[in-house]
Homo-oligomer: A and B are copies of this chain.
Amino acid sequence: MSAGHTPEPLGVHFESVPEWLRGDGESADVVVSSRARLARNLAGHPFPARSTQAQRKTTLKLCKDWLSKAGLSAQTTCISLHQAAPSERTLLVERHLISKPLAKGRPLPDAQDDDRPPGETDPRAVVVGLPDEKLAVMINEEDHLRIQAISSGLDLREVLRRAIDADDRIEAGLDYAFDEQFGYLTACPTNVGSGLRLSCMVHLPALKMTGELEKVKRAAADMNLAVRGFYGEGSDAIGDLFQVSNQTALGKSEDQILHELDGEIIPRIVEYERFARKTLMSKRRAVVEDQCWRAFGTLTRARLMGAEEAMQLLSQVRLGVSMGLIRDTTVRIVNHLMLLVQPGHLQRVVGHEMDQEHRKEARATLLRTRLGG
């Protein structure tokens, strides 16, 4: 059913709000988005990290060719990352369409231990479902294929369904590395089996304020969950945003993983955060209200604004909006701004590259304009 890749440069509308930041769906006061990711590899081809440049080119071509015909979405775009500009790769990372490692690729080859021609980076790509970006398939990341379905709010069952649907369509044209005993084979042993990672991006400002966040993080670790920052593995928790996901796939069925996260863990985290918000409202309402409004005041008046401070202030405003304390903006606008204040998007909106100082000015102007300051 695919109309093929779009002809325009990258196809992605970088100034639009992607699906996962729409700010609606179930439990959207706490759960920003839900994501399912399936790791898959082609049978008879070494994993990317063990491939020669020629082998990578082969797997990339195989995947690209089939994905353009597989009917993954009404419309898709395929972006060759080894040909994309650094600024374009940054934009894709900021939209969570590709991982930082895929954006970066391996370091440029030197003559010693690399078969790549000088100046030639890893052949790699991402296929994105348009216009809503609800689907993204990374090619030649850690695995040959990483299929991601994403949705706003708490919607794990649906994202899993969509990821499996995409997986079925891809499997119809490509031969997967599969073992009767272990299941799908993956580069990292934690993904072997279903290759599934389910995750939610949760916004936990109240747990942070009441000092209970560490407790929740420890409890999550005890349940074998990973709690990561806004940009995944190794990133900081900016803006009180956390990605909660299953740590391993091995030995668990898709249904088990779904049941754990969707039926138990995420609803419990939502409950904790909501309880913390209620507690704040009944016991420290004036302080919370003050904090949220001060954040709004700073965002609508500052003339210089760093990305990290912007995220922290937007987090406070998001809390204020979710709690009904601030009615001057919406969760959707705040979510979108969390994307637009990132360096890549900021420069895209302004229309040219800037050094850090000029970005600070442009970021403050953007926030004032969009929040009506």
Contact = CB atoms under 8 A, between A and B. Distances in A.
Interface of A: 286-287, 289-290, 293-294, 296-304, 357, 360-361, 364, 373
Nearest to A288: B303
Contact of A297 (B286, B287, B290, B298): B298
A335 to B, nearest CB: 21
Nearest to A296: B301
Oligomer: number of copies: 2
Q: For the complex, would chain A's binding face be called helix, strand, loop or mixed by DSSP majority?
A: helix
9 contacts: A286-B303, A286-B361, A287-B304, A294-B302, A294-B303, A297-B300, A297-B301, A298-B298, A300-B301
A298 to B, nearest CB: 5
A373 B297 CA distance: 9
A91 B318 CA distance: 41
Residue from A286, A293, A296, A357 whose CB has the most chain B CB atoms within 10 Å: A293
A357 B285 CA distance: 12
Given A286-B361, A361-B286, A303 B293 contact: yes
Contacts of A364: 290
A294 B301 contact: yes
Given A286-B360, A294-B298, A297-B302, 15 more contacts: A286-B303, A286-B304, A286-B357, A290-B302, A290-B303, A293-B302, A293-B303, A294-B301, A294-B302, A294-B303, A297-B297, A297-B298, A297-B299, A297-B300, A300-B301
A361 B287 CA distance: 10
A303 to B, nearest CB: 4
Nearest to A299: B297
Contact of A290 (B289, B293, B304): B304
A360 B294 CA distance: 14
A362 B150 CA distance: 46
Nearest to A326: B301
A364 B298 CA distance: 15
